[in-house]
Structure 1
Amino acid sequence: MFTSRTFKINKICEYLLNAKVKRCYPKHILSNRSVHDVIDVDINGVKLIFPNVWLRDNCQCEQCFHVTAKSRIIDYNNFNVDTKPVKVTKNSNSLQVTWDDGHKSKYGFNWLKLRSFSPKYQKKYNDDIYRSPKIVWHGKDFYEICKKHDYKDIVSSDEALHKWLNDTSVYGVSVIEKTPNSETAIDEIVKTVGFTKRTHYGEKFVVQNVTNTSNVAYLSSSLQIHTDLPYYEYCPGVNMLHFLVQTKGEGGENILSDGHYTAKYIKDNFPEDFKLLTNVQVEWSDVGEEAGNKFYKLYRAPIIEIDSNDEINRINFSIPQRGSHFPGSIEDVVPWYKALKLFFNLNKKFAAKFKTPEGNILVFDNIRLLHGRNKYEDSENNVRKLIGAYIDWDEIYSRLRCVKVKLNLID
């Protein structure tokens, strides 16, 4: 059945009861401050509702939508937010609407279901297309969640590329094995995704012991757990480290902690500390010179960043790259330092410790995981050399969606 109706809040509730879809649409979608004009649609027994204005705005005809550019070209000079349908019909797989200005629109049922306002289909869209849900982990589970992938498979197979990108997005970490012994080997992996994130350290960077350095990561001493480049407003999303040469002696073990796991643990067990870690601004800083380029980077953000849905979306943490200026209130200083130490200690407690074999590429989410390294002995006959590169999450998610479409995993 297809009808067009104007509902006030009590009428909407009555409609939803009659349509037997009240469990699909929670109360928060029903505003008591507005009047809703909707079309209700029964698609093979699935009852869905769509606002008139949304349907008109998303008309797929060639006058309103450019097919090859995948872009809306509807003329908003003449767009009427109060538009109403005068005729609604259907065939076996689509809905046709004639609007009060005479314009005609057609919508495929599968297209409508994927974009419906039902929480069930919104979740499906979020999980399948927007971003796969993250699975947080404790260090004791590291070898179970950290999936291994073959270098040649990734560069030659869409299925392997999809598996690698999806595992990395879900768990925040993965390992690429059997990488060629070349300083340019990481370039082929980057090309499967798109391109690197260039920083003031270049398009790629080398991690090895350098005595007079502008970065403490280029020492052989212990490297405390941190996220890279928190002083960038748009910091690199994913860190890739190719272990070209691994130290043969003691030390050099990697330390990885899931910052989301720790943040959620603090939220559940230390709510006041969680508030401090999410509310108090920190000034992140990096001042120096690299390859003749002087830099003076500053950015302010809390240690734990949350979005409008109170979901964790970025971790900022680095003892060396935390500036000495405290932007917050003096009353916050002592309690914030205690929360900072709690976050640091728990990440150490929950961390995984392992030594990455030579020839592997360790891939991890730089805005989720904290990483560090145990000290190691460095000498002429016992060196450690890593080739690193960054990739933005925008590029990874984009490639992941493209591969899903190519493999017919999504519409």
Structure 2
Amino acid sequence: MFVLRRLHNTKQVNLIKSITENNRQHFQLKRWTHDYLTLEISGENLSFPYVWLRDNCQCEQCFHQSARSRILDWSKFDVNIKPKDVVRNGNSLQVNWNDGHTSKFELSWLKFRSFTPENQQRYIEAIYKPKKITWKGEQFQEICSKHEYDEILNSDQGLYDWLLKLSRYGVALIQNTPNSETAIDAIVERIGFTRRTHYGVKFVVQHVPNTSNVAYQSSNLQMHIDLPYYEYCPGANLLHCLVQTKSFGGENLLSDGHFIAEYMKENYPAQYKLLTELEVEWSDIGEEDSNEFFKLYRAPVICLDKYGAVTRINFSVPQRGSYFPGSIDMVKPWYEAHGLFLALNHQFSAKFKTKEGDILAFDNIRLLHGRNAYEDNNNNVRKLIGAYLDWDEIYSRLRCLKVKLKKDDVVY
């Protein structure tokens, strides 16, 4: 304004305006020569690619708020989009794009999604999946948390605490469950729904003389995971102890397959490599409730993701098929590695006996479980009610609870 007041004619004013506009445009073009925008947020310099910012515009033309879904027309999307101007107002940011569109973002929302390795790791552990903590048998009493049935049913915090411990350690115990075959249903409904298999919506574990499954016997049950022959294997197992045997025996065995995998990788790398690379055929053939089934699936004993982290354990002597999908010279080395894996699981296992009213919850694609032999009598027939849950549902409930309990609105 000071400059304009000193000008004496309109021509000079227009000349200055033209120069100012040209300089402003030149500044903008120079400013947006990179493919990302760098901002200082809470003391951190964080960069956000233009294409990502435009793709994640939260306005009603681009994002459906109630459905929480992107609705921008990607057939018209320009991956080379550039800002025309950026305005920061307090805790928010406005980006005016060169296609005429305007986007607004909260800085806290951006920081939560920033691209630094540290922030990305925080996001993974806070929202995606809690970090797993491995353990060995001697640590079992320390890591196996105990939770009250009524508290899980009546308290979101109680439910969250139980699911968090289950996801971290792969095991958690519910106590004081009512003596009812339907008591487990209420726990499942607090999370989502059961994972049905060819053994039903739920299943009863007790001695059956002519059984379709060796788990339904009172003899020693070798350590295993359930249903490795499912490509999408049930993620978590819930076992409600209705009647516990009074005989000697009947103890549960549990071991952390992730700990065993880490131990083998460090101490027996050749055997570890075999168990991560050579696929095994897992199978289940039979009939349950007049339903015939013939299940087959191939996968290694230890499954890894692209980062080398363990994603799933497959192990069951009864459910390992007779067809060996590998070369003949790999057979004996694989069997030796297989035997070592089982021996280590026994070496580092925990042994305990659930009480009536306990629900033992454990990660079925991480922990191996088994049971020592026992004897029934006419007045005491051991009986458990079982149900499966998918990890998709458990993680989903955990995220919903975290947002609700922590009031963390930047998640959405």
Match of residue 141, structure 1, among 126, 139, 142: 139
**How far is 1:239 from its partner?**
0.2
Secondary structure, in 3 states, of the residue corresponding to 1:407? helix
Amino acid in the other structure paired with 1:250: F
C-alpha distance in structure 2 between counterparts of 1:211 and 1:279, whole Å = 38
C-alpha distance in structure 2 between counterparts of 1:136 and 1:406, whole Å = 28
The answer for the alignment partner of 1:87 in structure 2 is: 85
The answer for the alignment partner of 1:210 in structure 2 is: 208
Amino acid in the other structure paired with 2:106: G
The answer for the alignment partner of 1:40 in structure 2 is: 38
C-alpha distance in structure 1 between counterparts of 2:215 and 2:262, whole Å = 28
Match of residue 285, structure 2, among 287, 294, 318: 287
The answer for the alignment partner of 1:333 in structure 2 is: 331
The answer for the alignment partner of 2:401 in structure 1 is: 403
* 2:108 corresponds to 1:110: yes
**What are the equivalent positions in structure 2 for 1:151-162 lying under 5 Å apart?**
151-162=149-160
**How far is 1:5 from its partner?**
4.1
Match of residue 318, structure 1, among 289, 306, 316: 316
- Tell me the alpha carbon deviations over residues 25-59 of structure 1, each in whole angstroms, 9 at most, x when there is no partner: xxxxxxxxxxxx11001113211001111111111
TM-score, length-scaled by structure 2: 0.91
RMSD: 1.1
The answer for the alignment partner of 1:235 in structure 2 is: 233
**What are the equivalent positions in structure 2 for 1:2-81 lying under 5 Å apart?**
4-7=31-34, 37-81=35-79
C-alpha distance in structure 1 between counterparts of 2:407 and 2:158, whole Å = 14
The answer for the alignment partner of 1:194 in structure 2 is: 192
The answer for the alignment partner of 1:21 in structure 2 is: none
C-alpha distance in structure 2 between counterparts of 1:162 and 1:196, whole Å = 18
**How far is 1:188 from its partner?**
0.4
- Tell me the alpha carbon deviations over residues 150-206 of structure 1, each in whole angstroms, 9 at most, x when there is no partner: 000000000100000000000000000000000000000001001000000000000
The answer for the alignment partner of 1:386 in structure 2 is: 384
Contact 1:4–1:38 (CA<8 Å) still a contact in 2?
no
- Tell me the alpha carbon deviations over residues 331-352 of structure 1, each in whole angstroms, 9 at most, x when there is no partner: 2111111110110000000000
The structure where helix makes up a greater share of residues is 2
**How far is 1:4 from its partner?**
4.7
The answer for the alignment partner of 1:18 in structure 2 is: none
Amino acid in the other structure paired with 1:121: N
* 2:259 corresponds to 1:261: yes
C-alpha distance in structure 2 between counterparts of 1:347 and 1:369, whole Å = 9
Amino acid in the other structure paired with 2:304: I
Quote the sequence identity (%). Answer: 63
**How far is 1:6 from its partner?**
3.8
The answer for the alignment partner of 2:25 in structure 1 is: none
- Tell me the alpha carbon deviations over residues 230-282 of structure 1, each in whole angstroms, 9 at most, x when there is no partner: 00000100000000000011100000000000000001111111111010000
Contact 1:254–1:373 (CA<8 Å) still a contact in 2?
yes
Secondary structure, in 3 states, of the residue corresponding to 2:215? helix
- Tell me the alpha carbon deviations over residues 315-342 of structure 1, each in whole angstroms, 9 at most, x when there is no partner: 0000000000011121211111111011
In 2 relative to 1, CA 4–151 (structure 1 residues): closer, same or farther, beyond 3 Å? farther
Match of residue 308, structure 1, among 287, 306, 309: 306
Contact 2:32–2:83 (CA<8 Å) still a contact in 1?
no
Contact 2:32–2:82 (CA<8 Å) still a contact in 1?
no
C-alpha distance in structure 2 between counterparts of 1:113 and 1:211, whole Å = 61
Amino acid in the other structure paired with 2:384: L
Amino acid in the other structure paired with 2:120: Q
- Tell me the alpha carbon deviations over residues 94-152 of structure 1, each in whole angstroms, 9 at most, x when there is no partner: 11111110110011111101100011211111011001100000000000000000000
C-alpha distance in structure 2 between counterparts of 1:5 and 1:135, whole Å = 44
Secondary structure, in 3 states, of the residue corresponding to 1:188? helix
Secondary structure, in 3 states, of the residue corresponding to 2:406? coil
**What are the equivalent positions in structure 2 for 1:332-351 lying under 5 Å apart?**
332-351=330-349
Contact 1:165–1:400 (CA<8 Å) still a contact in 2?
yes
Give the gaps of 5 or more residues in structure 2. 1-27
C-alpha distance in structure 2 between counterparts of 1:410 and 1:219, whole Å = 48
* 2:248 corresponds to 1:250: yes
Contact 1:138–1:261 (CA<8 Å) still a contact in 2?
yes
C-alpha distance in structure 2 between counterparts of 1:409 and 1:95, whole Å = 22
C-alpha distance in structure 2 between counterparts of 1:329 and 1:5, whole Å = 58
Amino acid in the other structure paired with 2:237: N
* 2:340 corresponds to 1:356: no
C-alpha distance in structure 2 between counterparts of 1:269 and 1:157, whole Å = 44
C-alpha distance in structure 2 between counterparts of 1:321 and 1:409, whole Å = 45
C-alpha distance in structure 1 between counterparts of 2:119 and 2:316, whole Å = 39
Give the gaps of 5 or more residues in structure 1. 8-36
C-alpha distance in structure 1 between counterparts of 2:343 and 2:392, whole Å = 31
C-alpha distance in structure 2 between counterparts of 1:322 and 1:45, whole Å = 55
In 2 relative to 1, CA 410–347 (structure 1 residues): closer, same or farther, beyond 3 Å? farther
**How far is 1:409 from its partner?**
5.5
Contact 1:208–1:386 (CA<8 Å) still a contact in 2?
yes
In 2 relative to 1, CA 231–109 (structure 1 residues): closer, same or farther, beyond 3 Å? same
**How far is 1:379 from its partner?**
2.1
The answer for the alignment partner of 2:294 in structure 1 is: 296
